[in-house]
Structure 1
Amino acid sequence: MSTTIWHNPRCSKSRETLSLIEEKGEQPTIRKYLEDAPSIEEIRDILELLGIEPRALMRTKEALYKELGLADVADDETLIKAMADNPKLIERPVVIKNGKARLGRPPEAVLEIL
């Protein structure tokens, strides 16, 4: 089954994760999620595969996170919508394969599903 990476080429962790995947002989589908933002449903699916709450997928140190006042938001659906509307808030990279997902922080974490 194919491997997909939600990738930001400007991010060193994302580039390192992509390199690790390629070193394993995989040719992943590269989704530049900043240009091709995931939908609310896709974000929900990824959260379920990762087994984490929405805030754990968010870049909480991002200026936009503070500007939007998301630290004070307790509603998961509001946080998910914020990520769909502002993909810059999504922590990267996310790797998906065979119905499993891992966050590439550290990049080696994705090796569990390859």
Structure 2
Amino acid sequence: MITLIHNPACSKSREALALLQSRLPAASLQVREYLQQPLDLVELKQLGLPARELLRGEPDGRDDDALLGAIAANPELLQRPIVIRDGRALIARPPELALTLLD
């Protein structure tokens, strides 16, 4: 199962979704619209990605826990799209990076 952390208003997220849909059976792709179903602090930590990479924009001087807390409280701060497979996660920017998790 592959999970796409997705924002339908984001062109890069839509591109990643289209790429995954063109290469995967529908049953093996789960799409989570994170503005409707935000990731909590535990889920953000489980991604295993640096907090500074998960944050859209420039991080201020806060530590990782503070940045992840800010993202959990304000999901619009989350960088996207994020693709997750078998416990591995990556930010698919450019969207073609999503395909690296298919191998």
TM-score (normalizing by structure 2): 0.90
Q: How many residues align?
A: 100
Gaps (5+ residues) in structure 2? Answer: none
Q: Distance in 2 between matches of 1:53 and 1:98?
A: 18
SS of the aligned residue for 2:20 comes to helix
| Residues 41-80 of structure 1 deviation map (CA, whole Å, 9 limit, x = unaligned) | 100011x1xxx4201111016xxxxxxxx5132x211111
The answer as to whether partners of 1:3 and 1:26 remain within 8 angstroms in 2 is: no
The question of 1:30 aligning with 2:31 is answered yes
Q: Given the two structures, how large is their TM-score scaled by the length of structure 1?
A: 0.82
- How far did residue 101 of structure 1 move? 1.4
Q: Partner amino acid for 1:40? A: L
**Is the Cα contact below 8 Å between 1:104 and 1:110 reproduced in 2?**
yes
The structure 1 residue matched to 2:76, chosen from 73, 84, 88, is 88
Note the C-alpha offset of 1:5.
Answer: 0.5
TM-fit CA distance, 1:25: 2.3
Structure 1 pair 31–96 and aligned structure 2 pair: CA distance change class (3 A): same
C-alpha distance in 2 between matches for 1:3 and 1:15: 15
Letter in 1 for 2:84: I
**Distance in 1 between residues matched to 2:94 and 2:81, nearest whole Å:** 10
In 1, the alpha carbon distance for the partners of 2:25 and 2:10 equals 20
Q: Which runs of 4+ in 1 moved over 6 A?
A: none
Within the alignment, does 1:72 sit opposite 2:61 as a pair?
yes
For residue 15 of structure 1, give the secondary structure of its aligned residue in structure 2: helix
For residue 10 of structure 1, give the secondary structure of its aligned residue in structure 2.
Answer: coil
In the alignment, the residues of structure 1 paired with residue 90 and residue 25 of structure 2 have an alpha-carbon distance, to the nearest angstrom, of 16
